[in-house]
Structure 1
């Protein structure tokens, strides 16, 4: 599993899954979709099934001896959604008719509205099925890049971005225009953000993921403010930290005042999160230009930058109330 800059989307890299790595999310009632409306959507690029596995799954939730639900691409190359009535059978299966192989990134969505489940590929309604009653909703964790149950496993081999689960809302019931930007992570940009129970950007860092339970033990948490306790089942490569990371960048320069022009300095620089004073990043400014950059930080925070003079010719210089720019 690795960050894949060549396969970028919306100007940022995507996360590549090698067909044997995945993430496990903690138990969350917001991921149990056994009753009521829901939507699962995101972006994917498929490199074919992992060796020895007939299907590719980018999001799945297991059950005791079978799956509760999963969405992925089947062995024939078609988008598919499988939803169990009992955890071991009686499934509702919705399969598309357009190949998802060799098309680059594609947008996927499955949505339940009342008694109808609809499956969309790049905004086009591919297939639908009628459902009724209660379906399997086990206490198993949700997995990104895998479905694992007793007796078999399916993995994802390819790339993923912007994986989202919305509980209680069917975002679409008929064909729609493909999104041209990442999903908003606020109510101003997404009227259904309050019902979003998972938003995993999976871009240059595995950060700024949100999991807001609408009901259950996490209901008291602020929407969009709870970092997911992702557990990687692979050695992560440049995935950042899930507590302080994000898509923001704080940049600046360290220079000595001089005439006719200020002189760049090579100095240690700290980045502090203002709400609690924690030093979340440390860097040295470039000797030639004096520039520094703190990348992959949470763009929702305010920061203070402190530059130190290790030669003790000057006192520390501070710049506060800084807002990270989103890259």
Structure 2
């Protein structure tokens, strides 16, 4: 399963992410409708995989019709050096048609078609931070989600452009990805989407581009996960062995790594598999050492390559807020096969 197939009710039309790059092209994970930049794409993988903007728009091979009912989403760094931000446009120079557009003052997101635009509203957006922005088309109107939360009010479909032809507007240096500005992913789906669906897509793409976190003590607005080595649990003052460590993917980490695993299934009433965030806590130090998301179809999750000589607490959170968190403590890992 890939991040763009996370929601069964949504049919992927096109999907691009920084893990699928070839030269100057951002490859389409659904078909062969690739995006081409004006120069070889520069990639990076700290803290999550991304490609760097180069002050020029990138062209989609065949313009993508905007679904009458569906989702158009982008995940990128909203950068003060690229204001106003226009992520998607119909043609070079915009032609008065663009979407996922943040105003220069950061106080409004817009949709524009045939030279006529309107603001969703919703207040200011944090600059120099990663945002997952999803426009949900609903036939006669559209709504906008920023990081899983709806902003402002619905806009009439007269403000929804007909096709997506490029990344960036091309109407000036400030209207496309600035030099070095990170882009993580873009996706287009057809079908009816709920808020929970948007949140599931966001969680899936972040997980796929970042991988499993080796250890962390919190979240950072710019980078997503801040990976800090915990202090040695045997040293009360916690001053020794504190340092910065990057995400280690599926590899072993020096503090909590090993050859053990904990697996399970997340279900809601009446025992239906669901996708939820699952957190693993080391019982001896109370540090959060892993997090993952359960599979949306089976509800299965797994924490692999963890130490065998300790017990853990497993927490599952319901982002829909229909149920309280579920906890299991003193969970012993089993040997990996």
Please tell me the TM-score bracket, short chain as reference.
0.3 to 0.5
Please identify which structure carries the higher helix content.
Answer: 2
Q: How high is the TM-score relative to the length of structure 2?
A: 0.42
Q: How high is the TM-score relative to the length of structure 1?
A: 0.43
